[in-house]
Structure 1
Amino acid sequence: MVPEAGVPEAGGPWAARQVSSGMAFFTDFVITGSVRGADATHAPREVTGLLGDEFTESRTGRGQLLRCYDLVEVAWEREGDTWRGLYITVQAHRLAPPLQLGELAEDLDRAGFPLVEVAPDGVGCRRFVRADSQVGVLVDEENGQVLAMTAPAWFAPGPRGEPSPWPREAGRDRVRHLVGLGAAERETWARRRQPEEAGEAARRWWFLWVSCRQLLPGDGERRYGHGGAAWQELGLWLLGSCEAAGVLDRTDTVCEIVRYGLLDPDAAVRACLDAVPVSRADVATRESTSYTRENLMAVNASRAAKRLSLAAGGLLPRVRDRALREEVAAWLELRTRLM
């Protein structure tokens, strides 16, 4: 995967974009979140089919699998009888000569997919993200060298990428108070205490949700009581407030609902399918649609469909409605072709 010059091969259906020589591989990764079609949603067998079998592989006792293709690393963790993808990373710090942020940002701007900077990590790195592809770029703040590019990124633009407005325990105290209130009381609390400035309000809603999800009861506790219903109701309210404040879009919100078990499986899958912004007949695929500025809406709709169908797919063993199962299965058949 790495030619003599030390730079991975450019190519694929997006190589025609006007980017600098040797940069197409890196811009493609930021724009698509994939390497030659392989991304963090693909199983090891699928990655082998796309990237080949020239790799080194290691496993840990925690049920994790790491595969290295020169600059590219792909990681999974064991989930039942299958492997669940964790991330795909381009380890740009291994390049000689190094990749500079200025070159990468210039080419991405030219292609119409600019990076957005989020709060620094506090230990000498700048952080950038392309939110639609969920790619994060880590850069040495002293010399501007790109260190790594990862999808999905663990940091995000806007309030999600900013420091908490309060200490962790203070956030938890607020959430513990809210879970004891009724719906009308919570709305009164919100009107009285949320700041007027929209950006600050959005930031506070997000960190209330972060504090809440850290305290949510586990599956067993929800099943056997322990106030699980009240916590689920609060979680849904906070996520709705985050969505209304623009911190999350509908896809993000529904994926959080699924991840933290805030609805029963049938209701959660129905929410996923209702949130898919495009039909299966009209969804953009890798074969039909190029990654260009003009196609960004179609590309992002396809990405949303992929995320939502994968979220719903994890619930299928517990879904009772046959029609729901069949619709999710039909979407999952398209998974490897979606953007």
Structure 2
Amino acid sequence: MTPYSLAFYLNVVTSGTVLGAQPADTPDQVTKALGTDYAENSPNGSQMWRDYGLTEFFWERASAEHPWTGHHFTLQVHRLARGGGKVAGERLRSRYGRFDRRLRFEKLRRLLERRGTPLVEIPEPPVQAPYYRTYWQPASRVSVSVIRAHGEYVTPDTLRIGDVYHILAPMTPEEVDWRTSRQWS
């Protein structure tokens, strides 16, 4: 992986933003940061997301009369395995250069720890637990999902065990507490 694209992931996990765009930003603020090269989805008028390839931002609103409220963003890192660096989008490629098809979690974790940005493992729901592990960065409220085992949607030809699947923000302390205290049956 190039040092520049790795710097992108480090910045996202450390700051909880994508090129300065925060999960609660308006659609216009996200467009200003990421550009106009996206696909927009609004299936029911109360939810919307913009897909920039690697990055997706999500909003919701009570009704058409209300403004969009930012909900979260996700970096769909797994898409790079099939689509290569172009999936990252022009804005990210122009700033960070080439993106590798895979992001190794241990490398990301090690570099984050060197920066004083530790990740804490949190429990997965039973349906996901065999396939994924999730780590959380408390200060930035970012979670990192890592491949634990191959399954129906993650096969050895796309990702390896130990590759990052996606990065999401925010994951609130309340959700982490809920996951940690939950007695899965």
**Normalised by the size of structure 1, how large is the TM-score?**
0.41
State percent identity of aligned pairs. 32
Q: CA deviation at 1:22?
A: 2.6
On the 8 A contact 1:129/1:157 being kept in 2, the answer is no
Q: Hey, what does 2:74 align to over in structure 1?
A: 89
Q: How does 1:52-63 map to 2 (within 5 A)?
A: 52-61=35-44, 63=46
Q: Hey, what does 2:166 align to over in structure 1?
A: 148
Correspondence for 2:26 among 43, 53, 58:
43
Q: Distance in 2 between matches of 1:139 and 1:156?
A: 21
Flag the structure with more relative contact order, 1 or 2, with Cα contacts below 8 A and sequence separation at least 6. 2
On the 8 A contact 1:56/1:68 being kept in 2, the answer is yes
Q: Hey, what does 1:102 align to over in structure 2?
A: 106
Q: Structure 1 or 2: larger strand share?
A: 2
Q: Distance in 1 between matches of 2:75 and 2:135?
A: 14
After superposition, give the CA deviation of every residue in 1:304-339 in whole Å (9 maximum; x if it has no partner).
Answer: xxxxxxxxxxxxxxxxxxxxxxxxxxxxxxxxxxxx
On the 8 A contact 2:138/2:173 being kept in 1, the answer is no
Q: How does 1:232-311 map to 2 (within 5 A)?
A: none
Q: CA deviation at 1:86?
A: 1.2
Q: What amino acid maps onto 1:85 in structure 2?
A: G
User: Quick check: which has more Rg, 1 or 2?
Assistant: 1
After superposition, give the CA deviation of every residue in 1:107-162 in whole Å (9 maximum; x if it has no partner).
Answer: 10111101111113332110100111111111111301111111112676864332
Q: Distance in 2 between matches of 1:166 and 1:22?
A: 37
Q: Hey, what does 1:330 align to over in structure 2?
A: none
Unaligned runs of 5+ in 2: 82-100, 150-160
On the 8 A contact 1:55/1:70 being kept in 2, the answer is yes
Q: What amino acid maps onto 2:110 in structure 1?
A: E
TM-aligned CA distance change 1:113 to 1:91, over 3 Å:
same
Query: Are 1:138 and 2:142 matched, yes or no?
Result: no
Q: Structure 1 or 2: larger helix share?
A: 1
Q: Distance in 1 between matches of 2:179 and 2:21?
A: 26
Q: Distance in 2 between matches of 1:67 and 1:166?
A: 33
Q: Hey, what does 1:248 align to over in structure 2?
A: none
Query: Are 1:119 and 2:90 matched, yes or no?
Result: no
Count of residues paired in the alignment: 150
Q: CA deviation at 1:101?
A: 0.7
Unaligned runs of 5+ in 1: 8-19, 168-339
